[in-house]
Amino acid sequence: MADGGRMKGVQGAGGGAGDEEEGNEEARQELELALSLGRRGWHLPPRQEPAPRSLNWTAVLPEWNPDAAGSSQGAERALGGQSISSLGFRDMLGGILDGPHAGGSVEVGWDNLDEEDEDRDLQNKRLRVRRFGEESPLHSGANATPFGFESSFLPISDECVHLKLSRFPEHELEFGLSLFPNDGSESPRDANNEQVDNAENSGGRNSEDVGIRMDLSDDLLHLIFSFLGQKDLCRAGVTCKQWRSASVHDDFWKCLKFENTRISLQNFVNICRRYPSVTELNLHGVINAETLVLEAIMFLRCSQLQILSLRRTGMAHVSLNSPQLLELDFQSCHKLSDNAIRQAATACPLLAKLDMSSCSCVTDETLRDIASSCPSLSVLDASNCPNISFESVRLPMLIDLKLLSCEGITSASMAAIAYSRLLEALQLDNCSLLTSVSLDLPHLKNISLVHLRKFADLNLRSPLLSYVKVSRCSALHRVSITSTTLQKLVLQKQESLSSLSLQCHNLIDVDLSDCESLTNAICEVFSDGGGCPMLRSLILDNCESLSFVELNSSSLACLSLAGCRSMTFLRLSCPNLQHVNLDGCDHLQSAAFCSVGLESLNLGICPKLSVLRIEAPNMSILELKGCGVLSEASINCPRLTSLDASFCSQLVDDSLTRMAEACPLIEYLILSSCLSIGIDGLSSLHCLHKLTLLDLSYTFLVNLKPVFNSCPQLKVLKLSACKYLSDSSLDALYREGALPLLVELDLSYTSIGQNAIEDLLACCTNLVNVNLNGCTNFQELVCGSDDSSSVDMPVDFCPPSSSPIKSEEISERSGRLLEVLSCTGCPNIKKVVIPSIANFLHLSKINLNLSTNLKEVDLTCSNLFMLNLSNCSSLEVLKLDCPRLTNLQLLACTMLQEEELESAISLCRALEILNVHSCPKINALDFGRLRLICPSLMRIQSSLIS
């Protein structure tokens, strides 16, 4: 090492790599020593200034030599003539305190500052801040990290030497607080350790050196700095003399945190000497903590020390004399003996917070001595201390107690815990020998009981209890809680829980999912008078021991009984009930909702439900799908608009009649597969004056006259798979004008004959959607001109161009409104002809898919845009005059020839999609020809195209 604190020069390029590394290491060691000793007049040797990088921002000091390296002209020349803009106070302060960005750090240059400028600095407060990544001509960039922070500034002596230590890991960085001068009286020095001559820098001001004035009083600066942390204080301290003086004020260094950081002994001693009145010292994770504590006791005024953290240190001995100490942290100090902890803690009579978790040697004797010596102890963490049982320990002022994984804690320990009448928080997780907890604590707010294998009984009485965590307690079978503030209780997966008693007047949410042993008596707890008058949400999912559930609650809004497979009877009298979940309740036989506030109810699949009673004044949607044996239903829902009773095969006419009388606002009624509904039930539908949709699919109906007479306002009638309907069943539709508002008719898979279908299409001009899927008696669809006498539309309405026709114009000129015709899977249909004189001017979609015997299709439809002829394997003749057709599906039309296809699409000028997949007679080589015939084609689907 160099004498006088000077640093040895690093070997030049001519030396070997090993010598160079050795020189660097020696220089670093000497540098650390110099820093720790705070030597004045010490400098790094001059080094060559690196090439300038991109400029982020720069502020300028007054009275700079234009030729100096730090002046604005020098910077401008270095940047190739680029001008340097001035910054406001906010920009400059933000740049100083924001810390380094990617690729570099902010440096504040103090080199070449003369004595006069330094004296005048308190008035002008003008500074030059180097751009990110720029290095001082005399010193390297500062990246030392005080207190373990990344890329911070070192607050050092007047010459403000900057040290680049960023190559060292964060935990190895040394501290620079000791380098702050005590008096701040020295003048700046140049690279040769000489004082800067004021005359050398007395030149006139450059027009570009316009200063930024920040006239901050000391009080105002002190107030601003009070919001900064230690890292930012170190950064601010290198800005100017006034800021340096303000940043080292004792008010800002009451707390010294060295957490997980390597600090030399000398540095630590210097810091303790400078700030002897600190109130908090944190040595968490510091390697040489034992020695540092001895030094701290020697130099610090330990009478003022209030917080000391030695967490995770390797200390084997500790001796404290800190009468004002309030908080002491020994967590994970595995080498400390029971006696050492006892002596240290008992020497602090004002101790309020003690953490000795994971100190396995601690015993009950130590706890008792601490309790007697520290009467104000309010927070204690003795987790992972296997040798304590907490018996006969008296801590009357205790507020927060943690005893996690303490194998000695048993039910006998509860008496000592109950002695702490001020206790607010208690954690007893993983105490394997604990079998019961019975506490009557007036201030207890939080309790945690997790993974207690033998825990069977919980009894809590506390008016302030607001949080209870009970989890993985497989033996717990009894819970009793009394509280006036508890709002949420979660006891999920408590397989043995069978008894629950609650006196919780503000309890809102309860979750008892997967509590398999809960009995029917639980219903009394959550009914009115059971101790939970404010309960709104109750979850009893998968409580498989529940068989008879009866709840009478004026507050309950949400109830979930999903997966309660043993439940056979359900009775709910909850006027504010809004949501109920009964998924998986497949053994439910009788259900009553009287009265409830439900707006909708879905009973899911309840195959054994036979009796149902509902009184719900606000219900609008009711779904009974899958209640296959439901025979007796009393539904009194005056606002009901939609009822789905699909597959309720046992539902009789009497139930339907009572339902229609009590629910006059029904608009959608689905009685699909309701095989027991007859003429009397259908006749009762006259009460439903707003009924617009009626689904009678899969029934044995023969006579539809009750429907025609009772529901004149119907718009949708579905009769799919009503196989006993005859042609005469529909006579009233096309001969008597029944159901004048009907727009959709579904006759799929019925026995309706050819003549009835033709008459329907000819006479029922208001029909918009007709479904004839699977009609075996449907042989052909040939529309002539004999049914168009009432239509004023000209015969050839289609314009020569493919421009869209306004639907309003069509509606005015045509009385036939059919838009969608679906004839999928009609096995006997052979011919479909719709000429222009048929006036199907609204027809936009025809589906003849899977009509395997269809041979001829001849369509002249001006507004048709989608035609599906897929799997029509007998199709040979295809004639299309459909100028708006955009999608033509011919999948697996094996008999269709190329010439027929070309002729068909020649008049389809809007065609975009053509599917000829699996059409063997359509040659892939002619696809180009198809595009010539129909230029609008955008996509051709074919098995011949890779």
pLDDT digits 0-9 by tens, 108-123: 333 333 434 444 444 4
pLDDT of 150 > 60? The answer is no
Could you tell me the strand order of the sheet in which 877-881 lies? 780-782, 831-834, 856-860, 877-881
- Tell me the pLDDT tens digit for each residue of 440-487: 999 999 999 999 999 999 999 999 999 999 999 999 999 999 999 999
- For the chain, how far is it from start to end, CA to CA, in angstroms? 80
Q: Residue 284 has what pLDDT? A: 86
Answer whether 819's CB lies under 8 Å from 845's CB: yes
SS3 at position 770:
strand
Rg of the chain's alpha carbons, rounded to an integer?
45
Distance CA(477)–CA(475), nearest Å, equals 6
Residue 687 has pLDDT above 70, yes or no: yes
Q: How confident is the model at residue 525 (pLDDT cuts 50, 70, 90)?
A: very high
pLDDT at 218: 85
Reported as a pLDDT band with limits 50, 70 and 90, residue 4 is: very low
Q: In 210-282, which residue ranges form alpha helices assigned H by DSSP? A: 218-225, 230-236, 241-247, 265-274
Q: How would you classify residue 573: left for phi > 0, otherwise alpha for psi between -120 and 50, otherwise beta?
A: beta
Asked if pLDDT for residue 813 goes beyond 80, the answer is no
For 552, list phi and psi in degrees, rounded to 5. -130, 90
Cα torsion angle, 712, 717, 722, 725, sign: positive
What is the three-class DSSP state of 232? Answer: helix
Look up residue 220 and give its two tokens: 């105002």
Give φ, ψ of 36 to 5 degrees.
Answer: -65, -30
Task: Please indicate whether residue 844 or residue 927 has the higher confidence score (pLDDT).
Answer: 844
Whether 783 contacts 761, CB under 8 Å? yes
CA separation, residue 108 to residues 135, 195, 660 (Å) = 10, 19, 87
The CB-side HSE value for 415 (13 A sphere, CA atoms) comes to: 3
What single DSSP character describes residue 116? H
Task: Assess contact for 587 and 568: CB atoms under 8 A.
Answer: yes
pLDDT digits (tens, 9 = 90+) for 873-896: 999 999 999 999 999 999 999 999
C-alpha span between 391 and 97 (Å, rounded)? 53
- Residue 837, judged by CB atoms within 10 A of its CB (0-12, 13-18, 19+), counts as middle
Q: Is 73 exposed, middle or buried (0-12, 13-18, 19+ CB in 10 A)?
A: middle
What was the pLDDT predicted at 153? 34
* Lookup: tokens for 589: 């036989």
Q: What is the pLDDT of residue 368?
A: 95
SS3 per residue for 7-56: CCCCCCCCCCHHHHHHHHHHHHHHHHHHHHHCCCCCCCCCCCCCCCCCCC
- Count Cα atoms within 13 angstroms, Cβ side, for 126: 18
Six-digit token pair at 133?
């990544």
Distance of CA 825 to the CA centre of its chain: 48
Q: Are 559 and 572 in contact (CB under 8 A)?
A: yes
Q: What does pTM read for this prediction?
A: 0.68
Does the pLDDT value for residue 90 go beyond 70?
Answer: no
pLDDT of residue 301: 67
Q: Which of 488, 416, 492, 503 is nearest to 446 (CA)?
A: 488
CB 722 within 8 A of CB 750: yes
Closest CA to 193 of 111, 295, 293, 252: 111
pLDDT of the residue at 462? 96
Query: Cα dist. 356→82, 173, 330, 340, 393 in Å?
Result: 62, 29, 5, 12, 16
Tell me what the mean pLDDT of segment 596-621 comes to. 93
Distances (CA, A) of 532 to 96, 502, 541, 559: 59, 7, 19, 15
The H or E element that residue 592 is part of is strand 590-596
> 615 near 636, Cβ under 8 Å?
yes
Q: Rounded to an integer, what distance in angstroms lies between the CA atom of residue 821 and that of residue 227?
A: 77
pLDDT band at 100 (very low <50, low <70, confident <90, very high): very low
Sheet containing 632-636: order of strands: 548-552, 569-574, 590-596, 611-615, 632-636
Q: Which residues pair with residue 459 across a beta bridge?
A: 438, 480
Q: Name the band, by pLDDT with cuts 50, 70 and 90, for residue 809.
A: very low
Whether the per-residue pLDDT at 390 is higher than 50: the answer is yes
> What's the rounded mean pLDDT across residues 643-648?
94
Residue 589 confidence (pLDDT) above 90:
yes
Q: Is residue 98 over pLDDT 60? A: no
Q: What dihedral do alpha carbons 12, 15, 17, 18 form, nearest 10°?
A: -120
CB 650 within 8 A of CB 631: yes
| Average predicted confidence (pLDDT) for the chain | 78
| Model confidence at 77: pLDDT above 60 | no
Question: Are residues 384 and 405 in contact, defined by beta-carbon separation less than 8 angstroms?
Answer: yes
Confidence tier at 943 by pLDDT (50, 70, 90): confident
Q: How far apart are CA 522 and CA 515, in angstroms?
A: 11
CA 250 vs CA 219, 281, 419: distances in Å: 14, 14, 42
Query: What residues form DSSP beta bridges with 613?
Result: 592, 634
Residue 426 burial class via C-beta count within 10 angstroms: exposed 0-12, middle 13-18, buried 19 and up: buried
pLDDT of 924 reads 66
pLDDT value of residue 798: 37
Q: 754-803, pLDDT tens digit by residue?
A: 999 999 998 898 999 999 999 999 999 998 644 433 333 333 333 333 34
Give which of 649, 644, 654, 594 is closest to 620, Cα–Cα. 644
- Collapsing DSSP to helix, strand or coil, 763 comes out as helix
8 Å CB contact between 146 and 231: yes
